[in-house]
Amino acid sequence: MSDLPSFDLTGRTALVTGAARGLGRATALALAAAGADVALGLRDVAADGGLTAEIEAMGRRALPLAMDVLDLKQACSAIDTAIAQFGHLDILVNNAGGGTEGPVEDFPEDEFDFTINLNVKSTFFLSQHAGRHMIARKSGAIINMGSQAGSIALPGEAIYCLSKAAVGHMTKCFAVEWGQHNVRVNCVAPTFIRTDGTAEALSDPDFRADVLDRIAALHRIGEPKEVSGVVVFLASDAASMITGQTILVDGGWTAR
């Protein structure tokens, strides 16, 4: 029935940056499971951990691409390759990100620049590049990977926090300008999720206990599929009236 929401992505194409592991891998698999063909942005195109084969086993096309988001020329070329191979690009997931820790009084300029370039500059210019194609087609969905750190202050992570706050506000700006072209732009902001990237920190019993306490409603560590499911929703027609929003996947951390 036409009045029921559709989460089906059959016939659509997506590109996920930082697809090799963690949330990027989970997102690529979730998009494929929903029916999309997926281009995989990888720093090392030969090291996809079997992701390409796993997507192809679902009956979807997978396209591994060399894509270091700090190299904008290479990254934009990867977007062009995805469009050329798939014929069009419907979904861009700006997942690649990260940063370093340190007190603000001692934070070095080069690490500041690294974090801003990785989280903010790459998101802006990859969205811009893919967005031109989407604007021309009058259709598209961009999902940026933010963080609950964009809504709170985490000691020792001021630069990461401000970079993710910038991603959230950038999302609003793109959405407002591009809504007239039927291009939606949203942000997903997770808490601590069980991935390779968080394993070391969460292995500290005191740190883990503090995180579980701060995840004020559910008191558990999130799983990658609980983030990737939100990405699929935002990419689908079920979210056709949602743009410019940041959806927190934080188990209630920021609710208290």
Instruction: For the chain, give percent helix, strand, coil, nearest 5.
Output: 50, 15, 35
C-alpha dihedral (89, 250, 6, 83), degrees to nearest 10: 0
Catalytic site includes residue 160:
yes
User: Per the structure block, which two tokens stand in for 220?
Assistant: 């558990």
Tell me whether residue 254 is exposed, middle or buried, using C-beta atoms within 10 angstroms of its C-beta: 0 to 12, 13 to 18, 19 or more. Answer: middle
CA 151, 76, 67, 24 dihedral sign is positive
Tokens describing residue 57? 């086993």
SS3 of residue 96 by DSSP: coil
**Selected catalytic residue, list 160, 174, 192, 233:** 160
Q: Would you please indicate which residues are annotated as catalytic (active-site) residues?
A: 160
